[in-house]
Amino acid sequence: MAISASERLRRFQEQFSGNDSILILINADPDAIASAMAVSRLLWHKVANTAIGHINVINRPDNLTMIRLLGVKLTHLDETDPSFYSRVVMVDSQPDHNPEFLGFEPQVIIDHHPDTGVKAPYLDIRPKYGATASILTEYLRAAKIKPSVRLATGLFHAIKTDTANFQRQTLIEDVRAFQYLFKHANPHLARKIEQAEIQFEYIKYYKKALTHMRVRKNRVYVHLGTVVNPDVCVLIADFFMRINTVSWSIISGVYRRKLIIILRNDGIRKNAGKLANVSFGQVGSAGGHKSMARAEIALADLKATIDHRDDRKLLNWLIRCIERRA
């Protein structure tokens, strides 16, 4: 039996008391940031205080611009004392998604990624939704809270980003949330955030990708070597998907002693999450949605398989792993 939005809101709110201090825990990206903003608004004047803590280093230009223009206050977990908080809320992630999360036991988890079998006093996991921001918009509407321009713009941008302008997995509920937010968001702010994608230091990776890319059966493969940020791999994977003949984009890079692999596809009879899992799940963490996925493998776990210091050999290994199962 389907649970109504008002009933979900009631169950969510009963997890908190007026004396609680809340840590909203995220792996910061547009959807996570906007969803955390929405949780903070839902709990405004209902708990003692809220704070947003992120586990990752934020240096993508669009994310930094979003945080600055929307006035979002975030603190890295390294600078946070978890013992100060009586409740933890996790949005747009689940504990198994990153080792940094494993030291926490969230009381509330709200997410749109595939269910990992996590347990918590309150769970709202809807993998068919295109964005967690769509789910949180339903909570705001159930609470009869009109979002501020900044909150509406953040949620609006998050839905656009996670659905790739509704080209990736989405539901009519995502569309309804987007239409509602459109009335309250500032499209000029949203455009400024969207256009702040590339830094000068990223240009060299585009040059390397164009020089060393391999194209096989409408699939583009690139290994970038060591990258300043894993988001470089995401940007370049999305860049290649703009080419009309490309059906898959598989981009890898090394960051902090891990091999990061980003998969994108055109969404036609394909499943990037499943391919990532069967190709790399045995040696690292892997998963995602039908049209977008990610895998992370510790370099130490690759030593017996491939010489990760040789970019050409690593790319050949990557291609073999994918094409055995694609």
pLDDT band at residue 12 using 50, 70 and 90 as cut-offs: very high
Overall average pLDDT of the 254-269 stretch: 91
pLDDT band at residue 289 using 50, 70 and 90 as cut-offs: confident
Q: Is the pLDDT higher at 82 or at 39?
A: 39
Segment among 40-49, 145-154, 261-270 with least mean pLDDT = 261-270
Average pLDDT of the chain to the nearest whole number: 93
Q: What residue ranges do the domains of the chain occupy? A: 5-195, 203-323
The predicted structure's pLDDT at residue 13: 97
The predicted structure's pLDDT at residue 36: 98
The CATH fold assigned to 203-323 is: Diaminopimelate Epimerase; Chain A, domain 1 (3.10.310)
Dihedral angle of Cα 67, 68, 73, 76, to the nearest 10 degrees: 60
pLDDT band at residue 157 using 50, 70 and 90 as cut-offs: very high
Is residue 179 over pLDDT 70?
A: yes
Backbone angles phi, psi at 90, to 5 degrees: -110, 130
Q: What is the pLDDT of residues 60-69, one digit of tens each?
A: 888 999 999 9
DSSP 121: S
Walk across the sheet containing 219-226 and list its strands. Answer: 214-216, 219-226, 248-255, 258-265, 292-298, 285-288
The predicted structure's pLDDT at residue 1: 66
The predicted structure's pLDDT at residue 269: 80
The predicted structure's pLDDT at residue 165: 81
Q: Which CATH architecture has domain 5-195?
A: Alpha-Beta Complex (3.90)
Is residue 102 over pLDDT 90?
A: no
pLDDT band at residue 131 using 50, 70 and 90 as cut-offs: very high
Is residue 34 over pLDDT 80?
A: yes
Q: What is the CA radius of gyration of the chain?
A: 20
Percent of residues, the chain, with pLDDT higher than 70:
99
Q: Is the pLDDT higher at 293 or at 196?
A: 293
Query: Can you say whether the dihedral through the CA atoms of 111, 115, 120, 122 is positive or negative?
Result: positive
pLDDT band at residue 288 using 50, 70 and 90 as cut-offs: confident
Backbone angles phi, psi at 10, to 5 degrees: -60, -45
